[in-house]
Amino acid sequence: MPPILQSVLTLLPILWLIIALAVLKMPGHRACLTALAIAAALALTIWRMPALDCATSALEGFAAALWPIILVIIAAIYTYNLSLRTGAMDVIKRMLAGVSRDKRVIILLIGWCFGGFLEGMAGFGTAIAIPAGMLVVMGMEPVTACLVCMLANAFPTAFGSVGIPTVTLASVTGLDPLPLAFITVVQMFPFMILMPFLMVIAGGGGAKALKGVSGLTLAAGLSFVLPQLLVAKFLGPELAVIVGSVVSLAVTLGLVRLRAGKPVPAEYDMGAPAQPAQGGGKDMPPLTACLPFILIFVLLLLTSKLVPPVNGFLAQFSSSFQISTAESAGMTSFSWVNTPGVLIFIAAIIGGCAQKAGGKLMWDTLAATVKQMSKTIVTIMSVLAVAKIMTYSGMISDMAALFVTITGSLYPFFAPVIAAIGAFVTGSGTNTEVLLGRLQTEAASAIGASQFWLAAANSTGAGIGKILSPQCIATAAAAVGLTGQDSKLLSAVLKWALLMLALACLLVGLFQGIAAVL
């Protein structure tokens, strides 16, 4: 078979997912199971992958999906569900409504600021699942809640989980992490300003929603990205999004307080706070209601690399296994204690006890959460299996090489597209850095472009591709009770993601010389 045709065939699993979800409106778990069958068939026949390698690669994907990705998603949604059942979420809703009843303001505070913070601290779906669930409780339509949180998550992804994707990219490419982090933020700077505006427009039903809040929206973006830029420049990738989101939250809250008393247009008024549900919410102190989320923050902070003694001690509770028998496969590592899912479960249980949730209520909530997530679990396991098979068979490398061959010196204009495809398949910014980071820097050397600039383009494209991935969409759908309706979310986010991807391609291609100046 001609190499060019073989490279084109690598796109079949991806094209199938796009058609199945966007055109055929197929439930995500069915579409992803079919994509797994297509990827396995191609790997076994066209790429001559041994059957044992294919099976064990899929098994590695299943294991990587279950721990830590599915674990953290179930933990996040369990925390949210338990807060609903104890009445804590009613208390939180009244608190938030006391800050503002304006839908646009709430989108900025919860979707942009709080979502960015969760991505910086935990990642793995928490930055979409928890804020989207909170917005729905506030009265927002589920698809809209997911859309704004997915948009918010695109660019903080590069520095999620205490900077892991960018740290990984530096390791894979051999680049210095400090200038890499700084150039990545420089490249993303326009998007970090633009994104709060897009969120308000998408959540408010059009550009008219910006009337009266454009200054606040600009402040939310600037106060996020400017501290992020400084931290990336002088400290590196680990704290960039965490510091940016905290500063943005403080600035946005301060400006909202200054706007207190201004009338809220009827179309954006989320209404008076709901009456507490029957149960513990009626007389629950606000601190108790927020305790699970406060504990998530504290535990994630104390066990992160920001506290080396604790992080180092917990790091010993981990194991590495060789699962895939493929020649290019490495060890798969599992952290049994210091992983966001375990820490979120601990926070949820302690918070639940403080909220007077009995053992039966906690168990019933967990069982209901797992049942709610069953199709999502199938979706994510299938997607990770597809990613492992395509990686170890050489399909991903062939796909990337096809783009390099076709585009030549124009490659920088297409670098974000390659990264977006990688993230669409893997659903992970970190995995995309591992898969394609080296290819981007080698392509840069071949055409005389900046390795730092094209490595940053890998992060930019990966963030956009991630929010289109079946894994991300399934997580968002499960968080707001839309399980099996993945096509609705894909249709909602697709046009926004394609707009961002087009802008990213233009920015990376036209301004590639800026890295030399920096």
Range ranked top by mean pLDDT from 162-171, 184-193, 476-485: 184-193
Distance CA(308)–CA(314), nearest Å, equals: 10
Q: Which residue has the tokens 């996040």?
A: 76
pTM of the model as a whole:
0.77
Closest CA to 438 of 170, 155, 156, 167: 170
pLDDT attached to residue 272: 57
The CA-based angle 356-357-362, given to 5 degrees, is 160
**Quick count: other Cβ atoms within 10 Å of Cβ 506?**
12
* pLDDT tens digits, one per residue of 497-511: 999 999 999 999 999
User: Would you say 46 and 1 are in contact if contact means Cβ atoms under 8 Å apart?
Assistant: yes
Separation between Cα atoms, residue 171 and residue 184, nearest integer Å: 15
DSSP helix/strand/coil, 278? coil
Can you give the residue range of the structural domain that contains 121?
A: 3-312+332-517
Nearest to 420 by CA among 450, 405, 440, 406: 440
pLDDT band at residue 21 under the 50/70/90 scheme = confident
Q: What number of helices (H) and strands (E) belong to the chain?
A: 26, 2
On whether residue 322 sits in a domain, the answer given is no
Question: Measured between alpha carbons, how far is 438 from 307 in angstroms, rounded to an integer?
Answer: 30
Q: What is the pLDDT of residue 458?
A: 95
The answer to whether the Cα torsion of 238, 239, 242, 245 is positive or negative is negative
For the chain, the average pLDDT equals 87
**8 A C-beta contact, residue 390 and residue 501:** no
Dihedrals phi, psi of 333, to nearest 5 degrees: -100, 145
Q: Which two tokens stand for residue 92?
A: 């939180």
pLDDT of residue 281: 59
* Residues 395-433: tens digit of each pLDDT: 877 877 787 788 888 999 999 998 998 888 777 787 788
Q: What is the DSSP string of 329-347?
A: ---EEEESSSSHHHHHHHH
Query: If we measure between CA atoms, which residue out of 394, 329, 380, 435 comes closest to residue 57?
Result: 329
Local confidence band at 282 (pLDDT 50, 70, 90 cut-offs): low
For 263-312, give the secondary structure using H, E and C. Answer: CCCHHHECCCCCCCCCCCCCCCCHHHHHHHHHHHHHHHHHCCCCCHHHHH
pLDDT of the residue at 398:
82
Q: How confident is the model at residue 304 (pLDDT cuts 50, 70, 90)?
A: confident
d(CA 228, CA 250): 14
Determine, yes or no, domain membership for 325: no
Label residue 216 by pLDDT band (50, 70, 90). very high
pLDDT over 90, % of the chain: 44
Least confident segment among 228-242, 284-298, 434-448: 434-448
pLDDT at residue 275 in the model: 52
Q: What is the pLDDT of residues 227-242, one digit of tens each?
A: 999 999 988 887 899 8
Residue recorded with tokens 């041994």: 50
For residue 248, pLDDT beyond 80 = yes
Average pLDDT over residues 283-304: 85
Could you report the per-residue pLDDT of 80-103, keeping only the tens digit for each? 789 889 988 888 777 776 788 899
pLDDT 10s digits, 348-407: 999 999 999 999 999 999 999 898 888 878 888 888 888 889 888 988 778 777 877 888
Q: For residue 375, is it within any domain?
A: yes
Asked whether 129 and 80 are in contact (CB, 8 A), the reply is yes
Asked whether residue 271 is domain-assigned, the answer is yes
Has residue 263 been placed in a domain?
Answer: yes
User: CB-based contacts of 134: which residues, under 8 Å, 6+ apart?
Assistant: 80, 89, 92, 96, 110, 114
Residue of 133, 205, 160, 137 lying closest to 372 (CA atoms)? 133
Q: Does 326 fall in a domain?
A: no
| High-pLDDT (> 70) share of the chain, % | 97
CA 335/CA 338 separation, integer angstroms: 6
Q: Are 381 and 65 in contact (CB under 8 A)?
A: yes
Q: Give the helix ranges, DSSP H, for 10-50.
A: 12-18, 28-45
Q: What pLDDT, on the 0 to 100 scale, is given for residue 277?
A: 46
At 305-325, the pLDDT tens digits run 778 899 899 989 999 989 999
Residue 124, pLDDT score: 67
Segment 466-478 shows an average pLDDT of 88
Domain count, the chain: 1
Half-sphere exposure of 166 (CA within 13 A, CB side): 34
CA pair distance 368, 252, nearest whole angstrom: 36
Between 2 and 212, whose confidence is greater?
212
For Cα atoms 298, 302, 306, give the angle at the middle one, nearest 5 degrees.
Answer: 125
3-state secondary structure (DSSP) of residue 321: strand
Read off φ and ψ for residue 515, nearest 5 degrees: -65, -35
DSSP 8-state assignment for residue 265:
P
321 falls within a domain: no
Q: How far is C-alpha 404 from the chain's CA centre?
A: 27
DSSP, residue by residue, 371-423: HHTHHHHHHHHHHHHHHHHHHHHTHHHHHHHHHHHHHGGGGGGTHHHHHHHHH
Please give the Cα distance from 474 to 381 (Å, whole number): 11
- Higher-scoring residue by pLDDT: 134, 452: 452
Asked if pLDDT for residue 76 goes beyond 90, the answer is no
Domain annotation covers residue 319: no
Q: Pull the structure tokens for residue 173.
A: 């490419």
Q: Does the pLDDT value for residue 279 go beyond 50?
A: no
